[in-house]
Structure 1
Amino acid sequence: MQTNSLIELSRSAYQKNIDFLRQLFGKKVIFSSVVKGNAYGHGIPEFVTMASACGVRHFSVFDVSEARDIKMVLNDKITILIMGFLQKEDLEWIIENEIEFFVFDRKRLSEACQIAKKLRKKAIVHIEVETGMNRTGFEKSELAAVASLLKNEKEYLEFKGLCTHYAGAESISNYYRIERQIVRFKEIKQYFLANDLKPKICHSACSAASVMFPETRMDLVRIGIMQYGLWPSQEVFITYLNAKKMKLDPLSRVITWKSVVMSVKKIKTTNFIGYGTSFMAKRDMKVAIIPIGYAHGYSRSLSNHGRVLVQGQRCVVIGLVNMNMIAVDVTDIKTVKKGEEVVLIGSQNEGVISIASFGDYSNQLNYELLTRISKSIPRKIID
């Protein structure tokens, strides 16, 4: 485990977000916490422990390894839903542990049925259907075969959910595409009902869709980025504010990323700093070296652009971001000492480095930036 930086997760910020989201969606809608991508960089073990303490009982992941990570720390009555990748050899563990999972091809459905028969235990499946995302999901032409298998093997296949995913609900430019998807999903649901197959729940909404298209909330919402205190896009944020006639952001950032000053150097004017010649000192400078680089998820695109907080002041990253180090300009700070706290994301005194601004400097999406943060950096839950 690295000691060059620390990630703090605010329990109070998360509780505030959860309270807001539950109020927004209502008590009847199941809240599923999406923790794929190492809980969006927050760390699955620590994050789900915190989320469980805040009353969250449903978690959605991408693959089996993430499901196992949750199982290792939470053994109480929770629901885990695998939305993406799994292999045949995983199915026995999945079914034995009553893990729920998306099915979007007939081979997976048949294999699940075979393993369920072997274990004499039901496979809990969510049938994902293609509505226009064109990624994963059963095509309309396959629905008859799916319905037949679900009917004939109902002793071993529990039709828990019917689901789909929307193609860019965070952008108003996709409005008509999403509207068509919603119509198709309703048609497919009616097809199953007409064939005497009723899913226990229907779900389709991610964070963006749950705000932009409230009718997509259905029985369950799969919420990722918003629970972490961030909006899927500025459009989603503005849409919410306008609809509620609010001015303040109801979400609070959960994550803070901190490091320390590793060393301080004085540089004479006209000298280059770091690798190559990307930055030349135009004055006598004082430079702090921070033990963070692209190996830890601090993007190389932040070279000569990034900002960090030292003593509450925004300091510019100068020179190229190295594998394990960055240099920042602390010339205008009177005294900077080795071991002093540096904030990469978060607040310090009156200064703030938001994830949005961090992303702007590096031209990364919030999602991309967060999920690239190294797993080996220790995570700590704070109040």
Structure 2
Amino acid sequence: MQTNSIIELSRSAYQKNIDFLNQLFGKKRILSSVVKGNAYGHGIPEFVTIASECGVNHFSVFDVEEARQVQAVVQNKATILIMGFVHEDDLEWIIEHDIEFFVFDKKRLTNASKAAKKLKKKAIVHIEVETGMNRTGFEKNELKSVISILKKDKEYLSFKGLCTHYAGAESIANYYRVESQIKRFEEIYQYLCKEELKPEILHSACSAASIMFPKTRMNLVRIGIMQYGLWPSQEVFVAYLNSKKVKIDPLHRVIAWKTAVMDVKKVKMGDFIGYGTSFMAKKNMKIAVIPIGYAHGYSRSLSNHGRVLIHGQRCMVVGVVTMNMIAVDITEIENIKKDDEVVLIGNQKELSISIASFSDYSNQLNYELLTRISKRIPRKIID
């Protein structure tokens, strides 16, 4: 585990986000906390601990490894749903622990039935259908064979959910594409009902769809980025503000990323800083060396652009972001010394470094930045 920096997770910020989301969606609708990608960089063990303490009892993950991490925290006291990769060898563990999972190909369905028969216990499946994303999901013309298997093996297969995923709900540019997907999903649902196969729950909404297309909320919403205090896009944020006629952002950022000054040194005018010649001092300068680099998730594209906070002031990254270090300009700030706090994401005095600001400087999506933060950096839960 690295000790060069720390990730802080605010329990109170998360509770505010969950309270807001529950109020927005209604308590009867299941809110599934999406914790794929190491809980969007927040750390699955720590984040799931917070979420459980805040009343969340449904978690969605990408694969079995993530499901195991969640299971280690919740200990059968919450529902876990695997949305992506499942190896055949893991099916027995999944079924034994009542883990629910997406099925989007016939082989997985038949293998699940075989494993369930062996264990004499039902596999809990969510049938994913293709509506226009063109990624995973059964095409409508494949459903006859799916229906046949579900009916034939109903003793071993519990048809828990019908689901899909929307292609670009975060942008109004995709409006007609998403509307078309919604229509196809409804048609497939009606088709299954006519075949006397009615799932317990319907779900299709991610964070963006839940705001931009409220009718997609159905029985369950799979909420990722919003629970962490961030919006899927500025369009989604503006759509929410306009729909509610409010001007205040109801979300609170859960994560803060902090480190400390490793060294302070002077640089003469005309000298280059760091590798190559990307930054030349145009005057005598003073720099602080920070023990963070692209190996920790601080993108190399932030070279000569990134910002950090030291002593409550913004300091610009100068020179190339290297594997383990960056240099920042502290020429105009007095009395900076080794071990002084450096904020990479979060607040210091009156200023803040937002996750959105990284997009401005690096062309990174907030999702990308967060999931690239090294898993080896310790996560600390704070109030």
Band of TM-score, shorter chain? over 0.9
Structure 2 match to 1:376: 376
Structure 2 match to 1:309: 309
Q: CA contact under 8 A between 1:345 and 1:358: conserved in structure 2?
A: no
Return the letter of the residue paired with 1:236.
V
Counterpart Cα distance in 2 of 1:284 and 1:77:
60
Q: Say whether 1:134 aligns with 2:124.
A: no
Give the C-alpha shift of residue 71 in structure 1. 1.2
Structure 2 match to 1:284: 284
Give the C-alpha shift of residue 76 in structure 1. 4.2
Q: CA contact under 8 A between 2:294 and 2:321: conserved in structure 1?
A: yes
Alignment of 1:70-219 (within 5 A): 70-219=70-219
Structure 2 match to 1:345: 345
Q: CA contact under 8 A between 1:41 and 1:373: conserved in structure 2?
A: yes
SS at match of 2:110: helix
Counterpart Cα distance in 1 of 2:77 and 2:191:
33
Counterpart Cα distance in 1 of 2:111 and 2:214:
35
Give the C-alpha shift of residue 26 in structure 1. 0.5
Alignment of 1:214-253 (within 5 A): 214-253=214-253
Question: Per-residue CA shift, 1:48-86, capped at 9, x if unaligned?
Answer: 000000000000000000000111122142000000001
SS at match of 1:19: helix
Please give the TM-score of this superposition, normalised by the length of structure 1: 1.00
Counterpart Cα distance in 2 of 1:113 and 1:375:
35
Counterpart Cα distance in 1 of 2:114 and 2:360:
49
Question: Per-residue CA shift, 1:239-278, capped at 9, x if unaligned?
Answer: 0000100101000000000000000000110000000000
Q: CA contact under 8 A between 1:82 and 1:102: conserved in structure 2?
A: yes
Return the letter of the residue paired with 1:26.
G
SS at match of 1:318: coil
Q: Say whether 1:24 aligns with 2:7.
A: no
Counterpart Cα distance in 2 of 1:372 and 1:87:
25
SS at match of 2:347: strand
Structure 1 match to 2:360: 360
Counterpart Cα distance in 1 of 2:77 and 2:350:
42
Q: CA contact under 8 A between 2:76 and 2:97: conserved in structure 1?
A: no
Return the letter of the residue paired with 2:342.
V
Give the C-alpha shift of residue 358 in structure 1. 1.8
Question: Per-residue CA shift, 1:122-148, capped at 9, x if unaligned?
Answer: 000000000000000000111011011
Structure 2 match to 1:259: 259
Counterpart Cα distance in 2 of 1:255 and 1:114:
43
Counterpart Cα distance in 2 of 1:354 and 1:251:
13
5+ unaligned residues in a row in structure 1: which ranges?
A: none
Q: CA contact under 8 A between 2:42 and 2:255: conserved in structure 1?
A: yes
RMSD: 0.5
SS at match of 1:235: helix
Return the letter of the residue paired with 2:301.
S
Q: Say whether 1:64 aligns with 2:64.
A: yes
Identity value in percent: 77
Give the C-alpha shift of residue 359 in structure 1. 2.1
Return the letter of the residue paired with 1:200.
E
Return the letter of the residue paired with 1:229.
G
Count of paired positions: 383
Structure 1 match to 2:5: 5
SS at match of 1:327: strand
SS at match of 1:170: coil
Q: CA contact under 8 A between 2:133 and 2:166: conserved in structure 1?
A: yes
SS at match of 1:352: strand
Return the letter of the residue paired with 2:51.
A
Q: CA contact under 8 A between 1:295 and 1:323: conserved in structure 2?
A: yes
Counterpart Cα distance in 2 of 1:70 and 1:30:
18
Counterpart Cα distance in 2 of 1:171 and 1:73:
35
Question: Per-residue CA shift, 1:137-196, capped at 9, x if unaligned?
Answer: 000111011011111111100000000000000000000000000000000000110000
SS at match of 2:317: strand
5+ unaligned residues in a row in structure 2: which ranges?
A: none
